[in-house]
A and B are shown apart, each in its own frame.
Chain A
Amino acid sequence: MAYSEKLVDHYENPRNVGSFDRNDEAVGTGMVGAPACGDVMKLQIRVNASGVIEDARFKTYGCGSAIASSSLVTEWVKGKTLDQAMQIRNTQIASELALPPVKIHCSILAEDAIKAAIEDYRNKRGAEPAAAATPDRAAA
């Protein structure tokens, strides 16, 4: 499989591998995928009091594209508000990594992982509004 340099870099030097304590109330955890498909992604976000994602961690069982997609996503969500992170689209991930067509589903899974982590965080916080009137501080 011919992979782009960026993809290979994320695969060989993955960013933010690891785990937060899922019971921490500032942490949202999203687990998507299934072993039967060969892809399982766990994405965790740590959200600060202003509703900004200040840190992220991932663990992925999956091919090189899946690992790279989830690694990239942990970089992209840092510094974003929850609403901004919800805007991340798989097409952007696929384009950034130059995913081959047969691997697009990995980027879809990564997008699903972000949404799952945010939803988990929001569920934990109950009916709190998603983001206060914080000035946008979009990262990259």
Chain B
Amino acid sequence: MKLPIYLDYSATTPVDPRVLDKMLPYLRESFGNPASRSHAFGWEAERAVEAAREEVAALVNADPREIIWTSGATESINLALKGAAHFYRDRGRHLVTVRTEHKATLDTMRELEREGCTVTYLDVNADGLLDLAAFEGSLRPDTILASVMYVNNEIGVIQDIAAIGALCRARGILLHVDSAQATGKVVIDLAALPVDLMSFSAHKTYGPKGVGALYVRRKPRVRLEAQMHGGGHERGLRSGTLPTHQIAGMGEAFRIARLEMGAENERIRALRDRLWAGLSRMEEVYLNGHAERRVAHNLNASFNFVEGESLIMAVKDIAVSSGSACTSASLEPSYVLRALGRSDELAHSSIRFTVGRFTTAEEVDFAVRLLTEKVAKLRSMSPLWEMHQEGVDLNSVQWAAH
């Protein structure tokens, strides 16, 4: 086992060796610009781009003409939200989203507010799922678009996109779905789902960083105002020379996902369940987010009475991420965990474990042993654990904060 063990697949994934092999020729001898229409270098590159486009479309059962290449899911989300808000500004200026969305969505929404839109940020239930009645209640006659992520990056819960989409469709409201964490993990069928815009990331699905895609529905047609100008690439929606090697990589990554997702998810679910079985043997360990409506590779747990960053430091032989504020510059705990209604203590004491394609049972067992040992050690040092053992109700304590 090589240390540290990587258990942070939701942050990024290693590039699958098959993906790398697919990319290299386009960095070596096949370096042409796909927009060079007049010679073989360009034609070859264009062929690779179009083959990759078909792979991305195939994973989500879309038409290749509905796939636009971008620099990543963040750009896709920007293009979808700003592009639609600008194009449809005469239809209305109200947008709806969820408080647990990725910053790419939330910050873009803030920017649209700055431009004069109004945005409703919906709460979620304690299990992280959106309440459909609350969602429906937020839709107004002047609502033009809703944005809801398929799979949450912190807690891995899966929203009911089909139902949400149906509510939007009935009112002529566009639905954008951030699927950065969903590809290769849940089946996405855009022929069946009433979704108008969908953002994809390569590096969350064993592809390279720096490339993504945006699905833009043709039937019924969705229009966007381009955010990147200069040459009119990608049907005028996103100008800029296409990075053939990146796109070839993303295409291959999504092809592998389509072929291997079923079997892989089973293996990964077993590993994640093994991890949870081991960790939940400890006292005062809480699962964050719905237990079943959750992707197979995510485990987000709070270890009560132990602070997140100190725990992460203690387990540096595994690479994980924490919902603790100490790991960011502010003193605020994870906004996603707070939106679940988690107390500050539990939000601070959380760790996100995400397993993946290259995780082994041996690594999971190591993680369980390590966590068990270190949580015990940190609890022995924790005044909160001491008070808990003495039977003190921490909610009743008057803290001398500064």
Interface residues of A (CB under 8 A from B): 1, 3, 11, 14, 17, 19, 31-42, 59-64, 66-67, 102, 105, 108-109, 112, 116
Contacts and interface: CB of A to CB of B under 8 A. Distances in A.
B313 A11 contact: yes
A38 B313 contact: no
Given A36-B344, A67-B310, 15 more contacts: A1-B313, A33-B400, A35-B344, A36-B345, A38-B308, A38-B309, A38-B333, A38-B344, A59-B386, A61-B307, A63-B309, A63-B324, A67-B381, A109-B402, A116-B400
A35 B348 contact: yes
Given A11-B313, A38-B331, A108-B402, A63 B326 contact: yes
A71 B380 CA distance: 14
Interface of B: 305-310, 313, 324-327, 329, 331, 333, 343-345, 348, 380-386, 394, 399-402
Given A59-B382, A63-B309, A1 B324 contact: no
Contacts of A112: 400, 402
A41 to B, nearest CB: 7
Contacts of A61: 305-307, 382-385
A41 B310 contact: no
Contacts of B343: 35
B310 A19 contact: no
Which of A38, A108, A116 has the most B CB atoms < 10 Å from its CB? A38
Given A31-B383, A60-B381, A37 B310 contact: no
Interface centre among B333, B383, B394 (most CB of A within 10 A): B383
A140 to B, nearest CB: 22
A13 B324 CA distance: 23
Nearest to A116: B400
A119 to B, nearest CB: 11
A68 B382 CA distance: 13
A62 B386 contact: no
Q: Which 4 residue pairs of A and B lie closest in terms of their CB atoms, listed nearest first?
A: A34-B399, A34-B401, A63-B309, A42-B383
B309 A64 contact: yes
Contacts of B380: 17
Contacts of B325: 38
B324 A33 contact: no
Given A35-B394, A102-B329, A60 B400 contact: no
B386 A66 contact: no
Contacts of B327: 1
A116 B344 CA distance: 24
A106 to B, nearest CB: 9
A64 B313 contact: yes
B216 to A, nearest CB: 41
29 contacts: A1-B313, A1-B327, A3-B313, A11-B310, A17-B380, A33-B399, A33-B400, A33-B401, A35-B384, A36-B344, A36-B401, A37-B331, A37-B344, A38-B307, A38-B308, A40-B383, A41-B383, A42-B383, A60-B381, A61-B306, A61-B307, A61-B385, A62-B310, A63-B309, A63-B313, A63-B324, A66-B310, A67-B381, A105-B402
Nearest to A106: B326
Nearest to A17: B381
A39 B399 CA distance: 11
A137 B9 CA distance: 55
Contacts of A19: 386
